[in-house]
Amino acid sequence: MEKYSPEERHQHIIEQLRQQNKVMASDLAERLGTTEATIRRDLRHLAELGFCKRIHGGAMSFAPPSGTQQERLQRNSDEKQRLASKALSLIKENQLIFLDASSTNLILAGMLPADKQLTVVTNSPLIALCLLEQKTINTIQIGGELDPLVGGAVDNVAVQSLRRFHFDLCFLGVCAWSSSDGFIANNFQDAEFKQVAASRSSETVVLATQEKIEVAGRYPFLPSAQLGYLVCSNYNASLKDVFENLPCQVISAL
């Protein structure tokens, strides 16, 4: 006789996905006192309902919905403040920096030091506006058609503009990261744009909130091996080995 009903198992699995984004069938079977075959059936059922994506040996959550740049700014704002504050240590004197239309990058823009004579390139009007009052920061806004959901220009005009620069640091927003696919966007054109931006930079930096770690998404644009720095909140014990083996430098913002 099963220890838990199917409904109780489903609720437990959904809660685990909310807490840690990724679950493995073997762990769930042990915790719930059932077989891996039963858990695989549960995961298949939940995937069909849209709660998760099946992966080898388990399942993972989907990337959270994007929304506009201003809407994204309201989500996890305290965590984003911590990430942006931690990332300031990467910024050096006289650097050429790219900030894409990430809500966390908008927060970072407001924290940039006024004593380092920086040049900042961005595809985001809100980030450009934020930097307008900073007299010691030279701001360049690249052109193109604005995408209201992205919060900036990511079309071919914007991509061609990127090719005129070679950045010291490139800060890219992401919708998701997974150990199998790397860094992921929810918008195809945005993914193509981010891929070019990363290719034009000596180092690429991602500031990722906890909800984006080890989740599934639509458009992978950057393998983990091509990232310089990942700034993230403290990760749970189940991801410890994954993070310790990443080729990029992981900076924890507790």
Task: Please write the tens of the pLDDT for every residue from 92-142.
Answer: 999 999 999 999 999 999 999 989 999 999 999 999 999 998 888 999 999
- Strand 96-99 relative to strand 119-122, pairing: parallel
Three-state DSSP at 197 gives helix
Q: Which CATH number is 6-60's, of 1.20.120.160, 2.60.40.420, 1.10.10.10, 1.10.540.10? A: 1.10.10.10
d(CA 143, CA 117): 23
Joined tokens for residue 24: 């493995």
Q: Rg of the chain's alpha carbons, rounded to an integer?
A: 20
- Of the listed ranges 60-64, 184-188, 217-221, 226-230, the least confidently predicted one is 60-64
Q: C-alpha 40: how far from its chain's center?
A: 28
Calpha distance 178→181 (Å, rounded): 5
CA distance 79 to 83: 6
167 strand-pairing partners: 201
CATH architecture of 69-252: 3-Layer(aba) Sandwich (3.40)
Locate the domains of the chain by residue range.
Answer: 6-60, 69-252
Which pLDDT tens digit goes with each residue over 130-144? 999 888 899 999 999
* Calpha distance 105→150 (Å, rounded): 13
> For 212-241, what is the mean pLDDT?
82
Q: Which of 42 and 73 is assigned the larger pLDDT?
A: 42
238 vs 213, more confident: 213
> What confidence category does residue 58 fall into, taking pLDDT thresholds of 50, 70 and 90?
confident
By residue count, the chain amounts to 254
pTM for the model stands at 0.80
User: Could you report the per-residue pLDDT of 158-214, keeping only the tens digit for each?
Assistant: 999 999 999 999 999 999 988 888 999 989 999 999 999 999 999 999 999 988 888
Position 237 pLDDT exceeds 60:
no
The pLDDT of residue 50 is 77
Q: What is the pLDDT of residue 234?
A: 66
pLDDT value at 1 more than 80: no
CB 210, CB 233: distance < 8 Å: yes
